[in-house]
Amino acid sequence: MLQQTQVVRVEGYYHRFLTRYPTLEDLASASPAMVRESWEGLGYYRRAVNLHRLAQEVVQNRAGVIPSETEELRRLPGIGRYTAAAVASFAFEREVTPIDTNVGRVLRRVFHSRARSRALARRLERSAEMLLPRGGRKAWMFNQAIMELGALVCTARVPHCGICPVRAMCQTAVREAGRTTSASPRQRAQPGRTSPQSRRQSAGGLAVRRSSGPLHR
């Protein structure tokens, strides 16, 4: 439900859906029309179709057990790279980082502020792999923390570098601080005047498309 959709919009649907289909077996045995009706208004109906097919596949061919590894998860209907990593991490505490737009923005600003878009996705993945602590619970906490950092502090339009716990190692923040220091007294005295970097950030130039969607579904 959260693919391409914000939490605040999903909440009511989520609870109603679980009340109607409390188990995978309940969902698997429902008719397509019933599932569609439960999803009515939430949009992207392909997700409902895939979720229904996933429940049937797991009940009929996997003894009702959802797999915990990303490779197995990706064999299920509607599960792409991002969703597989999110389920593996948040449901099973596997050592993998789901890179959504918030996580991608933080990694890019901290480590790859000058990277070209062609090589960026792979670089973000490698950075996430290197940073991820070993040990299921630690990896889970790291993933929660970096998502929150991107959602609340390193926001798309105006990053709040002054309160950011990683600013000392952040390429973007260090470069921006250097620009401010080297600005003339007259420029510094004009609070409304911003550097080209600031203007790009304000225009969302560092944001990766939307603020809540995955880079890879």
Task: Please tell me whether residue 104 binds ligand SF4 under the rule CB under 6 A.
Answer: no
Number of residues that bind ligand SF4 (CB under 6 A): 14
Task: Please tell me whether residue 48 binds ligand SF4 under the rule CB under 6 A.
Answer: no
Cβ contact 91:63 at 8 Å? no
3-11, 53-61, 104-112, 139-147 -> range binding ligand SF4 (CB under 6 A): 104-112
Quote the CA–CA distance of 124 and 139 in Å, as a whole number. Answer: 16
Cβ contact 58:68 at 8 Å? no
Task: Please tell me whether residue 73 binds ligand SF4 under the rule CB under 6 A.
Answer: no
Residues 113-172 that bind ligand SF4 (CB under 6 A): 153-154, 159-161, 164, 166-167, 170, 172
Closest distance of CB 160 from ligand SF4, Å: 6
| 19-46 exposure pattern, b = at least 16 Cβ within 10 A, e = fewer | eebeebeebbebeeeebeebbeebeeee
Closest distance of CB 174 from ligand SF4, Å: 8
Residues that bind ligand SF4 (CB under 6 A): 106, 109-110, 153-154, 159-161, 164, 166-167, 170, 172-173
